Amino acid sequence: MRSNHLSRIKPLLRACRVAVFVQFFAFLKKGRSYFCSAALSSCILGSTLAQTTILRSEPLLKPKQSYQVQPIMNPDQITSLAQTAKDAAPWTWWIHFQNIDPKQESARPVADLRADQPGPDWHAITVPGPITKVPGYRSGQAVVYYRKAFYLPAGFQSPLALQLGIIDDRDIAWLNGCRIGFSGQWDGLVAQAYDRRRIYVPEPECLRKDQVNVLVIQVRGSARDSIGLIKGKVQTGPIVQIYKEYLLPPMLEIALQAMYFIAGLYFLLFFMRRMRDRENLFFGLFAVEFAIYQFLRTQIKTELDFPLLIAKRVEYVLLFSGVPFLYYFFRYYFRTEFRWVKYWDRILWVVNAIIGISLGVVLFIDDPGLWWQVQAKIVQPTWLVFFCGIFIILFYHVGKKDRDAFYMLLGILALSAGVVLDTLTSHEVINLPPTLSYFFVVFLLGLAAILSNRFVRLHEVNAELSTNLEKKVQLRTRQLEESHDELRRARDALWSEMELARKLQEILIPPKPVLPGYEIACFIEPAAGVGGDYYDVIHVNGKSWIVIGDVSGHGVSAGLVMMMVQTSIHTVIQQNPAASTSDLLSIVNKVIYANVNLLGEALYVTITVLAVIDQQHFCFSGLHQDILIYRANEDRVEVRETDGMWLGLMADIRADLDIREIKLNTHDVVVLYTDGVTEARARDGSFYSDQKLLKLLAEFGRLGAPEIKEKLLHSLRNFDSDDDVTFLILKKIEL
C-alpha cells in the first residue's frame, strides 16, 4: 500500500520541480510582476499534470460508481447484466422499435467510457421484463432491438459466455459487429423458441478488452402478443460456470420428476388390482402427467432438440387435463356426500365440456399462440372451480376431524402456492424459475402420511379382529339384546317428540296467508315428520314481508334450524320494521351461524326475503331458487335470479347481499319454490326440472292462484321427492 502511494506522489514532485524552474526563469527575464503570474500558471500546470498522471495509474472504471456503461470488474466470475426497476439510475439497457442495422449498431464504438447515449429513438427498459409500457410500443410489434454497453478490462483468461434468459420468440445477437448466436428460424410461420434459455459464446476476436463492448439483440415475437427478454437470468461469466448454473437445476428437477413418474405408476398398478378404488386411477394419471409436463418445461428438452410444436402440444394437453384429474382424486378418495359437493359436480359437467373443447383446439390447430391464449383466458380460470371444489371437500372433512383431510389440506395448500407462482411467472407478473416441482414434494409427503395411516389402521384392525373376534361377537350380542328394549322405548319417545315438533311447525307456518291486492296459494309437505322448508307472510306496522327458505337436509335438525330462522325474522322485523331486506338477512345470519355451530352440524339455509314497497313494487334479497314471474300482458315467463350468500356458512355476509326490485302489473303471477319441487324424480329417474315448471306456468299463468296450485300438484303426482316440497303462488288482482 505504501509503495502505491509513493508512485502517485512522484509525479506531483516532478510537477513541482517544473514549476520552480519556470518561476526562476521568469524572475530573471521579466521581473517581479511577471513572477507572480508565472508562478500561478506553473502551479496550475503542475497540478494538472499530477492529476492526469494519477488518474492514468487508476483502473479505467470504478465498481462503486454509476455508469450507463456497465463495468464488468471481474470477468472470471458471473456478473448480472440485468436492469430492474429497483436498480439505481442510470439505465444500462435500451430498446428501439424501428428498423435498424443491428450489425452496424453494435459495431459503432462508444467514445465516452462512462455514458452510453445511443440516440433519441432508444428508450430505457428493465431487463428481463415486459415492454408493453415502454413509450413507442405498439400492440402486435413484430421486431424490436435491445442494446447494452458494458466495459471489459484487460487481462482476464476464461472464455466468456452470455446468458440472455428466455426471449420471446426468436433472436439474433450481435456483439461489436459480430453475430454471436441466434435461436429459431427467423422467417418461420409458427413460434420457434419462446421457452428456450439463450447462452451464446462470442469468439475471442469479437471482444474488446479494456474497451466498451456493445451488445445488440434483434428480437422477433410470436403470435402471443408477447415479445422481448421476458424472464430468466441475464448475465455473463466464464463458460464453465454459466453452463454449470444452467444445467444443474434441470438435473435436480428431472430426478424429482422421475420420482413423481414412479409414484404415478405405483398408483396405476394399485388401480389395476382394485379397480373400484378410482382415486388410485386419477392420482396415478395426475402424477404421470405432472412428471412428463414438468420435464417438457425444463431446458433439457431444448438440448435434445425436441420439435417445439410437438413438445408444446403435449405440454398443453397435459396441462389442461391435470387439474381435473387432481379434483377427481379427492372426490373419490373422500367420497363426500355433502350437498354442496353434489351441486359442484353438476357445475363441473360444464367446466369439463369447456376443457374438452380447449383440448380439441390444441390437438387440431397448429398455433401455439392460440393455445396460450386458450390456456390463459379459458382453462386457467376453470382451475379456480376445481380448486374450490377440492377445498370444500377438505374443509368439510377437516371440520369432522378427519386426520387424512388435514394432511391433504397442507399438501394442497403447498401445491396451490406452486400453481399460483408458476401462473404469475407465465403471465410475466413475476420473474421466477419453475417452482411447482418442489411444492409437489410437500403434496406427496401429505399423501404418504395418509397412506401410512391407512395401512397402520388396517393392520391394527386386523390384529384386533383376529385376537378378539369371538369375545367381541359375544359382547356385541349382549349389547344388542340389552339395547333392544332401550331402542324400543327411545323410538316411542322419539315419535312423541317428533309429533310435538311437527305440530310446532304447523303453528309457525301460516296456513292461509293474506296480502292486500294479491291472491295467494301455498303448499308445504315435509319429506319426514319434521321438515326444513319454510314460507311466511308477515305484516308489521303496515309493511308486509314474504319469506321462503330451505334448510339443508331434512328431519329434526333441519326443522330446528327452520324454527330458529322463523323466530329470528319475526323478532328483527318487530324491533325494526323499517329494516331493509339485506339488513334483515345479515342480522338473522349472525344468529343462525352461532346456533348452527353449537349444534355441531354442517347446516345452512337458502332463503329469499321480499318486502312490499307498494301495490306494484317489491324489493328482495337472499340466495335461493330463481323467482318465476308470469307476465300477463306479454304471455311469457320471466326468470329473476337471486343473489347473495346462504345463511349459516359465514359469520358476516353483509358484503355479499344486495337489494333488487320487482314490478308487477295486474294479473301477473309470482312463483316461489324450493328445490324439492324441481328435484322430484319420476320412476325412470328423470327430474321434474326447472324447464317443466316454466312450461306449466306459461301454460296456466292466466288462471287464478288456487287453480295454478292444483295444476302444479296434479303435474307432480307421478314424481317422488326425497326432500321437502314447498311453493307459494301470488297473483296480482284488480282492487
Q: Is 676 exposed, middle or buried (0-12, 13-18, 19+ CB in 10 A)?
A: buried
Which residues, other chains included, contact 605 with Cβ-Cβ below 8 Å and sequence gap of 6+? Answer: 549, 550, 551, 552, 561, 562, 565, 592, 646, 647, 648
Nearest C-alpha neighbor of 547 from the set 620, 610, 624: 610
Helix (H, G, I), strand (E, B) or coil at 374: helix
pLDDT-wise least confident of 158-162, 217-221, 453-457: 453-457
Give how far the C-alpha of residue 362 lies from the chain's centroid of Cα atoms, to the nearest Å.
22
Over residues 180-200, the mean pLDDT reads: 84
Partners of 638 in the beta sheet?
629
pLDDT-wise least confident of 16-30, 239-253, 271-285, 639-653: 16-30
Nearest C-alpha neighbor of 524 from the set 701, 728, 720, 700: 728
Nearest C-alpha neighbor of 283 from the set 399, 451, 454, 435: 451
Q: Which three cell numbers stand for residue 543?
A: 309493511
> What's the pLDDT score for residue 484?
67
| Residues 724/526, Cβ–Cβ less than 8 Å | yes
Residue 155 burial (CB count, 10 A)? 9
Gap between the Cα atoms of 441 and 141, Å rounded? 41
| Residues 167/183, Cβ–Cβ less than 8 Å | yes
> What's the pLDDT score for residue 278?
87
Gap between the Cα atoms of 631 and 670, Å rounded? 9
Q: Which three cell numbers stand for residue 293?
A: 409436463
More confident site: 488 or 147: 147
| Amino acid letter for position 476 | R
| Residues 267/317, Cβ–Cβ less than 8 Å | no
Nearest C-alpha neighbor of 75 from the set 149, 155, 147: 155
Pairing of β 518-525 and β 725-732: antiparallel
Gap between the Cα atoms of 457 and 542, Å rounded? 64
Q: Read off the pLDDT band of 27 (50, 70, 90).
A: very low
Residue 50 has pLDDT above 50, yes or no: no
Pairing of β 627-631 and β 636-640: antiparallel
> What's the pLDDT score for residue 10?
42
More confident site: 93 or 91: 93
**How many residues are recorded in the chain?**
735
Pairing of β 70-71 and β 143-152: parallel
More confident site: 2 or 236: 236
Gap between the Cα atoms of 529 and 322, Å rounded? 46
Helix (H, G, I), strand (E, B) or coil at 359: helix
Average pLDDT, the chain: 81
Q: Read off the pLDDT band of 247 (50, 70, 90).
A: confident
Residue 37 has pLDDT above 70, yes or no: no
> What's the pLDDT score for residue 169?
83
Over residues 623-633, the mean pLDDT reads: 95
- The percent of residues above 70 in pLDDT, for the chain, comes to 80
pLDDT-wise least confident of 38-42, 99-103, 113-117: 38-42
> What's the pLDDT score for residue 56?
34
For 700-716, what is each residue's pLDDT tens digit? 999 999 999 999 999 99
DSSP, residue by residue, 189-243: SS---TTPEEEE---GGG--BTEEEEEEEEEE--TTS--EEEEEEEEEEEHHHHH
Gap between the Cα atoms of 270 and 264, Å rounded? 10
> What's the pLDDT score for residue 685?
87
Query: Which DSSP state fits 535?
Result: E
Gap between the Cα atoms of 426 and 376, Å rounded? 9
> What's the pLDDT score for residue 677?
93
Gap between the Cα atoms of 216 and 202, Å rounded? 13
Residue 47 has pLDDT above 60, yes or no: no
Which residues, other chains included, contact 341 with Cβ-Cβ below 8 Å and sequence gap of 6+? Answer: 331, 389, 392, 393, 396
Burial 529-561 (b: 16+ CB within 10 A, else e): bbbbbbbbbbeeeeebbbbbbbbbbbbbbbbbb
> What's the pLDDT score for residue 556?
75
Residue 397 has pLDDT above 60, yes or no: yes
> What's the pLDDT score for residue 505?
67
Over residues 572-596, the mean pLDDT reads: 91
More confident site: 669 or 401: 669
Q: Read off the pLDDT band of 354 (50, 70, 90).
A: very high
Gap between the Cα atoms of 700 and 732, Å rounded? 15
Residue 478 has pLDDT above 60, yes or no: yes
Half-sphere exposure of 343 (CA within 13 A, CB side): 8
> What's the pLDDT score for residue 714?
92
Give how far the C-alpha of residue 404 lies from the chain's centroid of Cα atoms, to the nearest Å.
25
> What's the pLDDT score for residue 362?
92
> What's the pLDDT score for residue 455?
63
> What's the pLDDT score for residue 620?
96
Gap between the Cα atoms of 272 and 265, Å rounded? 11
Gap between the Cα atoms of 672 and 712, Å rounded? 13
Give how far the C-alpha of residue 394 lies from the chain's centroid of Cα atoms, to the nearest Å.
18
Nearest C-alpha neighbor of 651 from the set 574, 572, 596, 707: 596
> What's the pLDDT score for residue 701?
93
Half-sphere exposure of 692 (CA within 13 A, CB side): 17
| Residues 356/415, Cβ–Cβ less than 8 Å | no
More confident site: 485 or 360: 360
Residue 31 has pLDDT above 50, yes or no: no
Gap between the Cα atoms of 11 and 6, Å rounded? 9
Give how far the C-alpha of residue 325 lies from the chain's centroid of Cα atoms, to the nearest Å.
18
More confident site: 717 or 307: 717
For 223-243, what is each residue's pLDDT tens digit? 555 788 888 889 999 999 988
- The percent of residues above 90 in pLDDT, for the chain, comes to 35
Most confident range (mean pLDDT) of 76-80, 140-144, 466-470 is 76-80
Pairing of β 123-124 and β 669-673: unpaired
For 547-556, what is each residue's pLDDT tens digit? 999 998 777 7
For 416-472, what is each residue's pLDDT tens digit? 887 788 777 766 677 666 677 677 777 777 777 776 666 666 666 666 666 766 676
Residue 206 has pLDDT above 80, yes or no: yes
Over residues 669-689, the mean pLDDT reads: 92
Q: Which three cell numbers stand for residue 347?
A: 357445475
Which residues, other chains included, contact 339 with Cβ-Cβ below 8 Å and sequence gap of 6+? Answer: 552, 553
More confident site: 258 or 605: 605
Residue 533 has pLDDT above 70, yes or no: yes
Over residues 124-151, the mean pLDDT reads: 87
| Residues 183/198, Cβ–Cβ less than 8 Å | yes
**pTM score, two decimals?**
0.47
Over residues 207-226, the mean pLDDT reads: 85
Residue 24 has pLDDT above 50, yes or no: no
> What's the pLDDT score for residue 500?
58
> What's the pLDDT score for residue 324?
92
Give how far the C-alpha of residue 639 lies from the chain's centroid of Cα atoms, to the nearest Å.
32
Residue 17 has pLDDT above 60, yes or no: no
Q: Read off the pLDDT band of 44 (50, 70, 90).
A: very low
Which residues, other chains included, contact 163 with Cβ-Cβ below 8 Å and sequence gap of 6+? Answer: 197, 198, 199, 232, 233, 234, 235, 236, 242, 246
Residue 19 has pLDDT above 50, yes or no: no
Query: Which DSSP state fits 683?
Result: T
